Structure 1
């Protein structure tokens, strides 16, 4: 098998990783952690979300975070926005890229966004249009593409239809999310073979969760389809409120270790990545669930 020479890892820990943490993470710790991630070699960091604080209290300080982080040249600092109001706040902080989001499942979309899929399209179209007028690139997130906690399996055709609408709006990249971590390698292979008929793979990213321990296996299958962009969170932070016992996002440190062992470049310094992981682990006062951190923690005892 001929693997890609280089893979881009988009660090989503400061947003997708922290948003489900019950204990409030102090602003200064968020800023220090993001600065450590910047020094570790990431080219893309999703630092927060401009969603109303009542929905995600943990990220209520998104504006302050954006104003205080040390922005490193060559790093894209991105944030999630739900609507035009969120976009206006993000633009005020000089965000580099904005991300819009919706689900491939009608039920999940209604519970997560409080709108039907069809009613979500006009809202996102406005955000994408206005973001482009502000000179910002736009990323799309499509959740539950491999399965929904309410509807079960989601048809690949439905995923393709919604994805095409998002690309028609003008998004620059689409991240396909296994939101509750139900995907398996055979399913991923089958879905990607179908999506090749409709979607531009050079503008796709994969967003796997490791609920059942299959995230890295699903990455390998995606690499075979020459997809070279992956979302992940340091230490495997995160999880899904709809999947009991979900263990969080694909761990950045596990992913980087695997890719480097395979001779695939990421541009990330593993030593500095470890430093960033240990820092947020200390802030949260609990061991991070990634395999790499389990090894590191044992070595430090």
Structure 2
């Protein structure tokens, strides 16, 4: 058992991971407006877009324009996802200072998601990461399906550790462990984190939970208890997983912040400012936030006392 961290960095993934599965095109101005509102909350990392094929992810086709129009705040990083050299070229042209590569701990998911084996994906990432580092960028690695795969079922923790260690070895400063279909429970999350942290320093790990079964906050609490101090989340609980019917998307930033505030863990994020972003994007999408905390606080018209 480790102590809870004194502070946690929240990585806001709503503008990229949250919006990328929206079927209706989200206007450029709305994406820029959302990121600018998030920049005013105290968040230090806001994932701004993805330089991927517009054929496969049409929602991210305007990522260069988004990067050009956002009001970048000093001390805030705006990472973008890049799958290959072409994506990295576009990210460099857009003035990105941090990029991310996206792998999987499941062979079946890797083949269906990025059309190659895990080994092939790592081989593809190697020159991309090397080029990014040589250009002075920082690189983050994502590992999906760390607690289960829609095609294979349970994923061995050792496989997650193997892929995570490979990404770390390529030069990723941080590896985000993603429960892509949101089936994890605290005990399984802890076992997976312990297996990975045997190969990678704990302070180089982040967790990325989806809330399909309502376990994301419980899983995050368990991760915090194992010394994890970086948590991915999406404002208003944006997102979803096309591989899991009924998935409610990423864990909501509001829910994570409420947990951290209640535990006395510093994040630097102001709930009232965060709710401004929640109201904005919920209005754009014309639906209420998935976050229970946001719904409760907006209903009562204010901030939390936690």
Query: Could you say whether these structures have the same fold, taking a TM-score greater than 0.5 normalized by the shorter chain as the test?
Result: yes
Q: Output the CA distance in 2 between the equivalents of 1:229 and 1:112.
A: 25
Q: Output the CA distance in 1 between the equivalents of 2:62 and 2:28.
A: 7
Structure 1 partner of 2:77: 76
8 Å contact from structure 2 (residues 208, 233) kept in 1: yes
Q: Output the CA distance in 2 between the equivalents of 1:192 and 1:277.
A: 30
What are the within-5 Å matches in structure 2 for residues 239-258 of structure 1? 239-258=240-259
Q: Output the CA distance in 1 between the equivalents of 2:25 and 2:225.
A: 40
1:111-140 deviations in whole A, cap 9, x for unaligned? 100111111111100110010111000000
- How far does residue 262 in structure 1 lie from its aligned partner after superposition? 1.3
Q: Output the CA distance in 2 between the equivalents of 1:51 and 1:64.
A: 14
- How far does residue 198 in structure 1 lie from its aligned partner after superposition? 1.5
Q: Output the CA distance in 2 between the equivalents of 1:199 and 1:146.
A: 18
What are the within-5 Å matches in structure 2 for residues 131-210 of structure 1? 131-210=132-211
The number of equivalent residue pairs is 300
Q: Output the CA distance in 2 between the equivalents of 1:112 and 1:125.
A: 19
Structure 1 partner of 2:12: 11
Structure 2 partner of 1:213: 214
Structure 1 partner of 2:126: 125
- SS where residue 139 of structure 1 aligns? strand
- How far does residue 12 in structure 1 lie from its aligned partner after superposition? 0.3
What are the within-5 Å matches in structure 2 for residues 26-45 of structure 1? 26-45=27-46
8 Å contact from structure 2 (residues 164, 196) kept in 1: no
- SS where residue 175 of structure 1 aligns? strand
1:15-71 deviations in whole A, cap 9, x for unaligned? 000001111111011101100000111100001000011111111100000000000
Q: Output the CA distance in 1 between the equivalents of 2:174 and 2:191.
A: 21
Structure 2 partner of 1:91: 92
Q: Output the CA distance in 2 between the equivalents of 1:23 and 1:50.
A: 19
Q: Output the CA distance in 1 between the equivalents of 2:298 and 2:73.
A: 29
8 Å contact from structure 2 (residues 160, 192) kept in 1: no
My pick for the range that moved more, 154-163 or 129-138, is: 154-163
- How far does residue 229 in structure 1 lie from its aligned partner after superposition? 0.1
1:189-247 deviations in whole A, cap 9, x for unaligned? 22223333212111000000100000010011111111000000001110100000000
Following TM superposition, the consecutive aligned residue runs of length 4 or more in structure 1 with deviations greater than 4 angstroms are: none
1:240-287 deviations in whole A, cap 9, x for unaligned? 000000000010001101111211110001110000100000000111
Q: Output the CA distance in 2 between the equivalents of 1:93 and 1:272.
A: 27
TM-score (norm. length: structure 1): 0.97
Structure 1 partner of 2:232: 231
Structure 1 partner of 2:304: none
